[in-house]
Amino acid sequence: MRITLGDVTAQYRTIKDEIDTAIREVVESGQFILGEKVAQIEEEIAAFSGARYAVGVNSGTDALLLALRALGIQPGDEVVTTPFTFVATAETIALVGARPVFADIDPRTFNLDPEHAAAAITPKTRAIMPVDLYGQMADRDAFCALAEKHGMAVIWDSAQAIGARFNDQPLGSFPGAATLSFYPTKNLGAYGDGGMILTNDEAVRDRLLQLRYHGSGGGYYYTQVGYCSRLDALQAAILSAKLKHLPEWNERRRANAREYFRLLQDTCSVVPYCDPRAYHTYHQFTIRHSRRDELREYLKQHGVDAGVYYPRPLHMQEAYAWLGYRQGDFPHAERAATEVLSIPVYPELRRDQLEYVAQLIRDFDS
């Protein structure tokens, strides 16, 4: 049996008519940059996420970059974040001229540990950037309290967590700015790149609107140095067609996760921990295994794709050697990088496929 880690074409087949209609409407309208479709998906995702405002941009990476700029992060500032994440988290901090300051993760959730983050704060710290890894929101209670105590901004990297909740509150209901990615394999994926920033601050929203359009408030007049970072109308229309299905898709992921919990009992695999305050959307179902690389190869030999997110923490990457960190500085992140393995959990996964994956893991461990 062949099972991929994700299957975006399977999802397309389930809503083909809706997607085709959405694309055709945009093509026939001739409006491809911003416009009505982009405004529509901004309103829809703001409402879905509990935010007052949403600003569409051309990628999740740009969402982080523009959020940092809009919240006033400048060269010489420090931003505390996690080393166990996709590179864009630290990359965008560096690109605005600030310094990424890493702190270790909670080994259960893989998210930034609030106590370690607090210990990393210095007089130069201007913001904190927790990541909602694998679809589970970082500890909103702890990080909101930490930000308030130190007068810092918060940028929530929620690229993997659309639809998630914490204490039954959605992503956009918290202070600061939350960023989304619509990369095709995300729970809500476009057919290309796309991203969005959620905020409840009107001034931040206004700065974002200018930053995404070359720093312009309209016409050929520029108030700041900006970017060309606009969400395409085609992607907006596709996302709008998909959004109504997202709650059901997330519930299917959660149902698949529950099956894995049951089927992987009494194995050497450590299944994901879910904070009882969190509604986990399982963008990835990530197990730990002491023989991770062998297990991954075993699955591959039997037709099952599995992914490693992420094989090397950012503080050990060549691109970030200038920060001066060394191996051993963040042991929880470093250990996770040697043990994590994400197995298929996408909504269209059939029960026999799920059971096949679980049985292979059981066979490997026996």
Architecture of the domain delimited by 8-243: 3-Layer(aba) Sandwich (3.40)
- Compute the distance between CA of residue 287 and CA of residue 336 in angstroms, rounded to an integer: 10
Percent of the chain with pLDDT over 70: 100
Superfamily of domain 246-365: Aspartate Aminotransferase, domain 1 (3.90.1150.10)
> Residue 366 pLDDT more than 90?
no
Choice among 94-103, 128-137, 210-219, 288-297 with the minimum mean pLDDT: 210-219
pLDDT tens profile 38-92: 999 999 999 999 999 999 999 999 999 999 999 999 999 999 999 999 999 999 9
pLDDT of residue 217: 79
Average pLDDT over residues 120-145: 98
What mean pLDDT is reported for the chain?
97
The three-class DSSP label of residue 296 is helix
25 pLDDT exceeds 90? yes
For residue 91 the two structure tokens come to: 């990359």
The region that residue 79 occupies, defined by phi over 0 for left and psi between -120 and 50 for alpha, beta otherwise, is: beta
pLDDT tens digits, one per residue of 256-289: 999 999 999 999 999 999 999 999 999 999 999 9
Q: Could you check whether 8-243 and 246-365 share the same CATH topology?
A: no
What pLDDT does 332 receive? Answer: 98
135-157 pLDDT tens trace: 999 999 999 999 999 999 999 99
The answer on pLDDT for 131 being more than 90 is yes
CB 46 within 8 A of CB 240: no
CA distances from 235 to 56, 81, 212, 241, 284 (A): 10, 30, 16, 10, 23
- When pLDDT is averaged across residues 121-140 and rounded to a whole number, the result is 98
Give the model's confidence band at 219: pLDDT under 50 very low, under 70 low, under 90 confident, else very high. confident
The pLDDT-based confidence of 241 (bands split at 50, 70, 90) is: very high
Question: What is the distance between the alpha carbons of residues 222 and 74, in angstroms, rounded to a whole number?
Answer: 19
What's the pLDDT at 14?
Answer: 96
Is the model's pLDDT at 218 over the cut of 90? no
Calculate the CA 310 to chain-centre distance.
13
| CA 313/CA 316 separation, integer angstroms | 6
Query: Given the DSSP bridges, would you call strands 125-129 and 78-81 parallel, antiparallel or unpaired?
Result: parallel
Total count of residues recorded for the chain: 366
> Residue ranges of the domains in the chain?
8-243, 246-365
- Give the confidence band of 298 by pLDDT, cuts at 50, 70, 90: very high
